[in-house]
Amino acid sequence: MLIGVLCLQGAFIEHIHMLESLGATAEEIRQKKDLGRPFDGIIIPGGESTVIGKLLRELDMMEDLRAAVSGGLPVFGTCAGLILLAKDIVNDDRRYLGTMDITARRNAYGRQLGSFATVSPFDGVGDVPMTFIRAPYIESVGEGVQALSVVDGKIVAARQDNQLVTAFHPELTDDTRIHKYFLDMITAHKSKV
């Protein structure tokens, strides 16, 4: 399985290592032409959504990436990746890919709780360790979006068809089950097309 990892800024190396540990092939996406590769899925890492978003525009990659995701290419966005995929962001006027019918809140945990770790249930997976770093959460989801994990009453993971997002960073733990969940999502998608 060939997974493209958006490597413009942020925590992308950890995703590559995790994918490789699961037997997938991970390739870096650094410029527009890389988006033409025959990926089975794409990961948008955590980092700063404003920086990644700006680079996507400057490198003329935004439209191609949006078209790929809208066309059904499986995508997994973590943290800033969640913000980039969100159709709406309550506390930011910027919009990026906007392919997923969720409303996100940036830096939602305030300064005190900027970063924290917990272990919480994830639908269909079980209890997983979750690392939050200046994380967003999902304020609301549209029809057709399934909330996969709720922590302290806030949605921190969701799925809409081939789009998966987590507010936390599964790649910063040694638990590979969320990445496995994404790869299983791709396998199920491939068997349908």
Residues recognised as catalytic: 79, 169, 171
Q: Which of residues 161-180 bind ligand GLN (CB under 6 A)?
A: none
- Minimum CB distance to ligand GLN smaller for 94 or for 190: 94
Contact between 48 and ligand GLN per CB under 6 A = yes
- Minimum CB distance to ligand GLN smaller for 49 or for 163: 49
> Could you tell me which residues are beta bridge partners of residue 155?
138, 150
User: What does the per-residue mask of binding to ligand GLN show for 62-81, with x meaning CB under 6 A?
Assistant: -----------------xx-
Stretch that binds ligand GLN, among 28-36, 42-50, 149-157, 179-187 (CB under 6 A): 42-50
Question: Which helix H or strand E contains 13, and what residues bound it?
Answer: helix 13-21
Kindly tell me which residue out of 19, 29, 130, 133 binds ligand GLN, with binding defined by CB under 6 A.
133
Kindly tell me which residue out of 7, 83, 145, 183 binds ligand GLN, with binding defined by CB under 6 A.
83
DSSP letter, residue 171? G
Binding site residues, ligand GLN, CB under 6 A: 46-49, 79-80, 83, 106-107, 133-135
